[in-house]
Amino acid sequence: MSTSLGELRLVQPSTVKEAVAARFEHPGSRFIAGGTDLIVNMRRGIIRSDLLVDLSGIDELTEITTDGLDVTIGAGVTLAALAHNSEIAGRYRALAQAAEAIAAPGHRVIGTVGGNLCLDTRCIYYNQSEWWRSAHAYCLKNRGDVCHVAPQGKRCHAAFAGDLAPALLVLGAEIDIASAQGVRRIPLSELYVEDGKAHLALADGELLVALHLPLNPPPSGYAKVRLRGAIDFPLAGVAVALAASGPNVNSLRIALTGTNSRPFLVAGTEPFAGRPIDEKLLHELDRLVQKQVQPMRTTIASANYRRIAAAALTRRLVKKLFAEGAA
Ligand SMILES: Cc1cc2nc3c(=O)[nH]c(=O)nc-3n(C[C@H](O)[C@H](O)[C@H](O)COP(=O)(O)OP(=O)(O)OC[C@H]3O[C@@H](n4cnc5c(N)ncnc54)[C@H](O)[C@@H]3O)c2cc1C
Ligand code: SF4
């Protein structure tokens, strides 16, 4: 049973400046890009707004450009355009693989990079209809005062489940954020906070404009486990970027999604540089990942399954990239 959207007004700016100004002038308004997450959440009554600022008419957000220093991807680029761009597929394989693994083709032609990076966190007690949530008792994240996952705590553990973020983290992405004060650039990792109720470090009305990727990243890959292979959020998603010389690691980056309230880079991979990629290293990686993921009972798959799956995906990706000659 879905909630009526009621009287809804739409503002359609044609520049970033106008979009930011429109949000500033209308407190309580929301940006809408493809709407594939926002509208579902509004229909469920978990996000409320009577004015949407539509980003789909802003041409400057839809470009992928290269200037010899880096590749810039606009926040309004669709997931389908990203997945099918030959430069992205050639240079940033993890990113193309992640885009291709999001939802279904119908979502990917309209869903955007910005919407994916600013996706709300998810939980089985939250992503439900108004009727379901009122019958079960509302939770801490929305209108209630208890977390059904961790009733003793005072924090929401809803999981971030966007697929693009881990790929972008291992590739060293930075993002541009626009506000009424101008544009600031930060590493993508600084966009996220480990708090399921407030996981984005964005001030109200700030707009993600674009992301930047260094031109010569190491070989990379992305893999996820999900309940329905054709259309589903990751229960655990892993991106790896691996540079090797001969049998040894040169550099190794691993990032995860689906297990915590934020996507994150696994800490402590630097000491693997110079070591051979053998069973001992893979075993240590397995333990490192299992120690840092914090899945909670926010999906119908168990937390332990997601922990083990994250480590298994990591091991598999590292072996695959190495076998392909990650030079
Ligand atoms: C059935 C189904 C399956 C799905 N499966 C997956 C999946 O497997 N993996 C996955 O990652 N996602 C999945 N999604 C979620 C969604 O389709 C994608 O994440 C998509 O990329 C969201 O982009 P959008 O443009 O539609 O975002 P919107 O719904 O328009 O926006 C999402 C949020 O981001 C904010 N926002 C949008 N653009 C910006 C911006 N430029 N700056 C600041 N804030 C912004 C909006 O205000 C909103 O809060 C699924 C959705 C459905 C319905
Ligand atoms: S983790 Fe707890 S507070 Fe957060 S959405 Fe789930 S039940 Fe609600």
| Domains defined along the chain, listed by start | 9-54+119-136 (3.30.43.10), 61-118+159-323 (3.30.390.50)
User: For residue range 33-87, what is the model confidence (pLDDT) as tens digits?
Assistant: 999 999 999 999 999 999 999 999 999 999 999 988 899 999 999 999 999 999 9
* Confidence band, pLDDT 50/70/90 cuts, at residue 7: confident
Mean pLDDT calculated for residue range 113-131 = 96
Which residue has the least CA distance to atom 2 on ligand 2? 147
CB 87 within 8 A of CB 71: yes
Compute, in angstroms, the gap from residue 120 CA to the centroid of ligand 2: 12
Mean pLDDT, range 250-276, rounded to an integer: 97
Measured from the Cα of 38, ligand 1's closest atom is 29
Q: List the Cα angle 135/129/149 in 5-degree steps.
A: 65
Which residue out of 62, 118, 192 has the highest number of ligand 1 atoms within 8 Å of its CB and is therefore the one to mutate? 118
Quote the pTM value. Answer: 0.97
**Closest to 207 measured CA to CA, from 26, 24, 50, 64:** 24
**Strands 9-11 vs 51-54: parallel, antiparallel or unpaired:** parallel
Judge whether residue 91 has pLDDT over 90: yes
| Ligand lying closest to the C-alpha of residue 16 | 1
How many C-beta atoms surround the C-beta of residue 274 within 10 A?
Answer: 9
**What value does the mean pLDDT take over residues 188-198?**
98
Q: Compute the average pLDDT of residues 161-181.
A: 97
Q: Is the CB of 272 under 6 A from ligand 2?
A: no
- Residue 3's pLDDT band, with cuts at 50, 70 and 90, is low
Q: Residue 136: what pLDDT?
A: 87
pLDDT at 1 over 80: no
The CA radius of gyration of the chain, in Å to the nearest whole number, is 20
